[in-house]
Structure 1
Amino acid sequence: MYLATKPGEEPPTLQEAAVLIVDDNADKRLALRAMLAPLGHEIVEADSGRVALKTALKQKFAMILMDVRMPDLNGFETAKLVRQHPPSASTPIIFVTAFGGDESEAANAYASGAVDFIYTPVLPAVLRAKVSAFVALFTQSQELHSLNSALRESDVLTQAVLDNVADGIFILDEAGRIESVNHSVGPLFDYGAEEEVGHAFAFMIAPESREDLHNIDRSREEVLAEGGTISRIVETVGCRRDGSTFAMELERRQIEHGGRSFTVASVRDISERKSHGEALEHMAHHDALTGLANRTLFSELVSQSLALATRDKEPRGVLVLDLDGFKRINDSQGHDWGDVLLKQVAQRLIGVLRESDTVARLGGDEFGILLAGSLDLAATAAVAWKIQETFEPGFQLNGETVHVSPSIGISIFPEHGANTIELLHRADLAMYAAKRTGQGQTVFKAAHETQTADHLALLLDLRHCIDRDELVLHYQPKIDLGTSKICGVEALVRWRHPKKGLLMPAGFMPEVERTYLIEPVTRWVLNAALRQQRLWRDEGHELTVAVNISGRSLGHDSELPDTVSELTALWGTRPGDLTLELTENALIEPSAPAVLGRLHEMGGRLSIDDFGTGYSSLAYLQRLPVDEIKIDKSFVINVATVSDDAIIVRSTIDLAHSLDLTVVAEGVEDEDGLGAITECGCDQAQGYLLGRPVAAADLAAAPAESAAVPSS
């Protein structure tokens, strides 16, 4: 509840509570507003004491921040007048002032109704902590005030209020029988006016859920010991007159009042909320395009199946399937028809497998299959043959029959792996072996391990690299070709392996992207990069930071925009100073437009890395909220000597500029190449000529002596 809340209004939450800033200096008001922004409160400004009084008469505030020295009415006079207005009589007032140590002014402040002081210069953390504390105390006091007022209202007024509440309200006697109800109960349970009165409240609960009542009931002695009022809320199942049921939230409040003990039970239909929650849960664990389980859910189901198999000492079969020829169809027919093909493949796999088997889309054109029950190698291989046969008729796309064939990798528990990571990894290796040899299906063999036992050890070590603080970022400078200054850096992850030394991304990132580790590693990189950017900014170096985002992360981490928002707020960095680099192939992920759209709306910059080597087209550049392209070094390295490469680079730059995109040239390794891309009109450049990736502390040693390079 909230002081002076009008009938039918919902009381505001802590975040919705309004804060009034009173100061005749616009810059100070702006600074205070910026400091309070992370709290989420509504901020209202007043540039004088008179405006503050008028504003307080029109709107309720949970906190007032007020300057002391203002023309016309000063802060003390304004506070006294505010205190005379009943709705704001108890609103906490904090004076923001430069004075300190003046006892007379402090006495005047408290006499005028202030609860605290904040001395300038204001520390953001102190300001937010004080505002949060006083707003919380104020809203709690309003809740207590409203509760006490409600209990003092007459029975007539109480009933009128209850009848205007959407929730169903029951008044129960000590035996749990219904004494009275509000008007909302009838529609909820399909009863006539007060038809429920006299019946046991338990009949409003579905029989199988009546035990929930015992989980929230408390004895009279406990209630009295806790001050006469106690509340318990549970989710249960309501039962209508015709026996139909619905999801219901139930709160029972036992009250000892006027020498009598009774219970107020309020119920709310939460069917829609439950349905929405279930939908969100489904989205988090299923592929948006095909409706199949996604990699996260598939890994969980494999782990559960292996636990049962271990208990029962049974084998389990796992298949990883990739489509041969999918890229050709995607390029020739377009990505929309490629999506249609993926959905048809999903349905065909469901049709050939048992209902108890699990099919998942692991990303792109890769699918995973978990076979239920105890199936040995021969039985699993037979399923793989059936899958191959079901692909033979082809698929109907855009009025024609197209053919794709599956490459299937097979791994068997426990022969090929003792846990989910090993089993899926080895099925993946077998799938690539099948693709290389054209055999259609291949069972995992030890020879498939690219680094045999060392490779698996590396994979297992990956699971602990974050906990052991073994990851590190190196930064490669980006040079503005117009000023020859460093304008930003690209953050590149390295792994300080305890035995193998410093590993480059090619040595471990492919494995990260094939496992659940991609999300925590991406979060670690973003956090470390933004932290370092803040350190540079505090030293006076304004640099943008670019972080690479994999297609796997874009396709399966639906919380990526929330992660970016959280971390930029944590380190106080501007979203526009963060660039997220994605490969062209990442853009084919079905979730790419939605995720990129959210990131762009937040103010983050989006860049297409290695442009010219993947799926990008003019249509993608026009449709997606891209800010920058990075021309792949394969085109840049010979731009000064190969005329075709020069034409491609110049055309790409002209196209990008026509779409108002920034162009970065990668792989600049000699002066001739630098001169050529500059002549073509390129905006920025990276490469060993301009600076190799180095640790943050070593960035000052990068070439380009005229660049404004940070020292740490």
Structure 2
Amino acid sequence: MTLRQSRPTTIPAGEALRLDALDRLDILDSVPEPQFDRIVELAAQYFDTPGALITFLDHKRQWVKAAYGMAHPEVPRNESYCTHTIAQDNVLVIQDAACDPRTRDHVGALGTEQARFYAGAPLVTPDGFKVGALCVLDTRPRDFGHKDERALTLLATLVMDELALRQATDRLGRLALHDSLTGLPNRLQFRQLLGQALTHAQHAGERLVLGLLDLDRFKLVNDTLGHAAGDHLLQLAAERLRHVTSTGDIVARMGGDEFTVLLADVTAAGDAERVAERICRAFQEPFVLEGHEVYVPCSLGLSGGEPATHDVATLLRHADQAMYRAKRTGGGYAVFNAQLDDLPVQDVELLAALHHAIPRGELELHFQPVVDAGTTSVVGHEALLRWRRPSGLVPPTDFIALAETAGLIVPIGRWVLGKAADAVRRGVLKRVSINVSGLELQQPDYVPALARVLADTGIHPHSLVLELTESTLLDPHRLTTVLEDIAQLGVAVALDDFGTGYSSLTALASLPIQLLKIDRSFIAPLEARGPAGARAFKALRGMVMVADAYGLPTVAEGVETSVQAELLREVGCTYLQGYLFGRPAPLEWPGSGDDREIGRPQSGPVAAVACT
């Protein structure tokens, strides 16, 4: 099939408009269609001619849509009889092409002696442009009366009616599968496209990620600026989504202010999140509506990612759950996480509030002293995180595990590190220990971030202790490099809650750990009468002996009575920590002003905490 040739730049204005009208019909180079084949057959039989054609005239060619009875090659426009037809308003009759000056030079262009007779009626669009012709052909000259011309004109009108019906059908099809406002695929078509993409991804073992996006302040725009502005916003949002996604991705409107993005070309786990970040950044820019700058951020949920294993319904449900989690936590994007998205409602609400705890100034650090077991002089402090919401203080047991699950422990841990180091920088504390999550240590930039804090504050590395739980060391080989890099900085590492986890003696020998903290659960039974107290005493003595064997000092946590303290001195514990020596409390700086505070200032008397 001959491809349509490009138009030169110098086309007369009238011809350019005619060619635009032809383009709008979307008929050139289309496949045969029975309704047009029936018309040419009817024309040939009615006029008793061996052939009939429906042709359309492009810039440089005559293209045949339907033909009956005779050869119908595509020919250059300057060799086409129909070119003369569209140059006049009425039916063109050429009784003998061999004698007619308009056609005698190219008689036989449609085949030797095939087209001696020609009668053609122009195909006229509703706005008056002649785009082609319906013609009948004979191999011999013949007459063609007024009655015949009238009949051919009616058949040409029938061709145009069929074209109008074809366009209407196409429009209805597009309306059925496309969103009329944005031009994007609608919900129905997107589900079809998603199903096809999912089948392909499953067979090819490829990754496929579905994103579900919701505009966060769309209702406010509708209510304040009106529905016309809301419609304009949806169109601008669609354009913005198309702009920030790849050509191979599929963007659709699901209805209302909800859009979907199908990322089919995802080769690595982080690819989809990079696209999500790009989308969210794009929606942080203002939209201009009726001369007003309007900020309409988005909430985006992602599902999938691994080589495709889910069905369409599951992918959509997971994306929806992730999107609502993103919305509840203040916008941006979220990746589906079964642990998070199956949380009870109260935990979801708590997680949403936790996202804003740092910017709202709700987090506090309380500090508890650590004393020398022999002299009870303060040798350092442990920084303990507290969350003070408007409704009251939230216990760490209620939010630390939740922060770990959601990954929020990473920014929270950086905040704690910065605040604790600043307390040492200002001379309020001599040495401080902070709790560090295993998830924080898995971040590739953890050690560089730690080094930056030391450099920015200028504190001595020995003044900082990182406390890790035994569960963090379940896979010590994976953390060896990180812990060695921390040791290279001169920062000490303590093993917290010793005795409650599963760390091996090999880990104590091979990892750069400088301190063991014995869990409070071993301290409380010391004062028990009979065998229980004796067993607790022996267990503690054994732990201290193990620590001594590895050259590690020990800290006993949860010391509440003088009897416990005396027994811990007897087993050889190095340091003690507990209510007996001071409860966790916020620090209060001399003077006033927010720039001189750690956490929140106390409204009452300062807790009795020695700061050395």
Structure possessing the higher radius of gyration over alpha carbons: 2
- TM-score calculated relative to the size of structure 1: 0.40
- TM-score using structure 2 length: 0.46
Q: Which has the higher contact order (CA 8 A, sep 6+)?
A: 2
